[in-house]
Amino acid sequence: NKLKKNKDEREKLALGSFFDDGPGIYTSCSKSRKPSLSSQLQSGMNLQICFVKDSGSDKDSNSSSYSDRDTTEEESESLGDLDFLTRQKKLQAEAKMALAMAKMQAEVEKQKRKKYECLMKRSLKPTNLRDMTMGQLQVIVNDLPSQIKSLNEELVQLLLIWDELHMEQDGQLVHTEDTTRHTESQQKHMAEKMSDK
């Protein structure tokens, strides 16, 4: 208990001397040093400076935003031109591919027609029919309906392919016309832009 009392008394003495000396210390400091931050803020010394700096930064940000916007527009325009050229090249490649496929398909159809023409001519020759037996002639007669059905089915398939290729050709022509018109308008726009500069 005695030790505790002595400790409490030492703490009181220490705190008391601190608080007793405190006002004098703060008073002397406030007299000799610059005004404190709170007093500067209360007097309003820095408010106008802060406002001027903010307005300047706003101008800078506005000018930078305008420049960024111009740069973005130019970049988007150049990207649009690149996309257009890419699409044009793609359409041209597709048109060439479709034309090559159509030529190949036409050649295949031509070969098939030759093959069936040879078969029909050979089977319809009177000399060949005279030399055949009744059994062979009966086989040919029985086979004719299946050949007719097969040829009809092939004709339908060829007509569908022809129609599909014809529609694809029309689509490619429309794309080519649109691309040509767009190219001409882009060239005209670029020429006007260069003349304005």
pTM (2 d.p.): 0.33
Q: Determine contact, residues 183/89, Cβ cutoff 8 Å.
A: no
The DSSP call for residue 33 is S
The DSSP call for residue 98 is H
Domain boundaries, the chain: 91-196
Q: What is the mean pLDDT of the chain?
A: 69
d(CA 80, CA 178): 16
List CB contacts of 45: < 8 A, sequence separation 6 or more: none
d(CA 166, CA 153): 20
Tokens of 89: 């090249």
178: helix, strand or coil: helix
Q: Determine contact, residues 110/181, Cβ cutoff 8 Å.
A: no
**pLDDT-based confidence at residue 152 (cuts at 50, 70, 90):** very high
Pick the closest to residue 157 from 83, 173, 149 (CA basis).
Answer: 149
- Per residue in 104-136, pLDDT (tens digit) is 888 887 777 676 565 555 556 777 778 778 888
125: helix, strand or coil: coil
